[in-house]
Amino acid sequence: MKLEIVTAERAVFSDEVDLILAPGVEGQLGILPHHAPLMSALVPGELVVRKSGNEYSLAIGGGFMEVRSDRVIVLADAAERAEEIDMLRAEQAKRRAQEKLAHSVSAEEAFEAEAALRRALARLEVADRVRRKKPRQ
């Protein structure tokens, strides 16, 4: 099946794949070829793609996924391949979000800080797991 991952800035991935594991709002979604049509919101986390025995990880910052019988389209708020993630920048974003969360005055500020923290943690976890090549849990 064809997988396309796009953000507002760029096309991140476009290729034929064998399996997609995506972080849905209700939990992990596993998509195989000829899956029933589906629309789902996605949360920040790791999106895994398997193709010809190889596994690729991407950190996504949330978004939406549309599944058709022969195609999956992911419209992500943000998406980076694991090897593109700058660990220093991600760590700095995590610290900024934690500080903002600790000093937030309104519910809106707290919500924004929590969202930024979830995105930063997703990026760090994906990059760390891939760099260490530890097995998926």
pLDDT tens, 64-88?
999 998 899 999 999 998 888 888 8
What confidence score (pLDDT) does residue 45 get?
92
Collapsing DSSP to helix, strand or coil, 81 comes out as strand
> What does the pLDDT look like over 8-23, one tens digit per residue?
999 999 999 999 999 9
> What is the reported pLDDT for 137?
44
pTM of the model: 0.78
Q: 100-133 burial, b for 16+ CB within 10 Å, e for fewer?
A: bbeeeeeeeeeeebebbbbbbbbbbbbbebbeee
Count Cβ atoms within 10 A of the Cβ of residue 78 and give its class: 0-12 exposed, 13-18 middle, 19 or more buried. middle
Q: Which domains are seen in the chain, by residue range?
A: 2-82 (2.60.15.10), 86-132 (1.20.5)
